[in-house]
Amino acid sequence: MFSLNGMTALVTGASGGIGSAIARSLAAQGARLALTGSNAAKLRAFKDELHESFGGEHVEITCDLSDPVQVEELVPAALATLGQLDILVNNAGITRDNLALRMKDEEWDQVIRINLEAAFRLMRAAVKPMMKARFGRIVSITSVVGLMGNPGQMNYAAAKAGLTGMTKALAQEIATRGITANCVAPGFIRSAMTDTLPEAQKAALNARIPLGRMGTGEEVGAAVAFLASREAGYITGQTLHVNGGMAMLS
């Protein structure tokens, strides 16, 4: 069940914490991957790691998602190297936190351009080959912040909420072609940054979560692998919340 053998996937932000966990989950189920990010050396090392751990002929494609020209070239490059594109995972994102009264135009623009506009461009490009194949899976990584808001993150919350709405609209447009579009919305996820927090701060965060702990990248990756599978073919326009019960949203 949930085998991705014979399927290909393009994952943005693939060398980051959650991105690398998503890529590992997809590779473990047999998918071939096009790994994208802005750090060529990290991508190359991660590609080699995936090959050693799971096999498969994966490729890396360096891309600056703030550059529309490079974004428009990404899906054609993935198709040229993989031969097909079955799964698109919009994972890459940045934060430029600031209170509303202090937020600079460039802080707003940078977050919207990378977190929302780049995802739109990639969705638009990916649906073309998927429609021809009459099969596809689009999974976008949003955030609990996009549903609940968070002080100092107007730009990030707007981008993530926009990504959710954009996914629902696209899901309705492409459903008859055998393509699904869904979101995974993580809550607090363990990372190198959270590992360095003082124990008291970690305890305060965990107290907000009914399961009493932060999630892992692997748990986010498992959710993505499920939505990318053939078995999830009757799920579209939905958001799968991976937040330990911190926000129980329908």
- 3-state SS, residue 32: strand
d(CA 36, CA 63): 6
239: enclosing H helix or E strand: strand 239-242
Question: Which amino acid, residue 244?
Answer: G
Among candidate residues 46, 108, 156, 226, the one labeled active-site is: 156
Separation in Å, CA 200 to CA 31, 191, 197: 40, 17, 8
Q: In the 8-state DSSP scheme, what is residue 176?
A: G
Q: Is 234 a catalytic residue?
A: no
What are the backbone dihedrals phi and psi of residue 103, each rounded to the nearest 5 degrees, phi first? -70, 125
C-alpha torsion sign, points 119, 121, 127, 130: negative
Using only C-alpha atoms, the chain has a radius of gyration, in whole angstroms, of 17
Separation in Å, CA 70 to CA 13, 45, 77, 131, 231: 14, 22, 10, 23, 33
Cβ neighbours for 82, distance < 8 A, ≥ 6 positions apart: 8, 32, 34, 59
Catalytic residue positions, numbered: 156
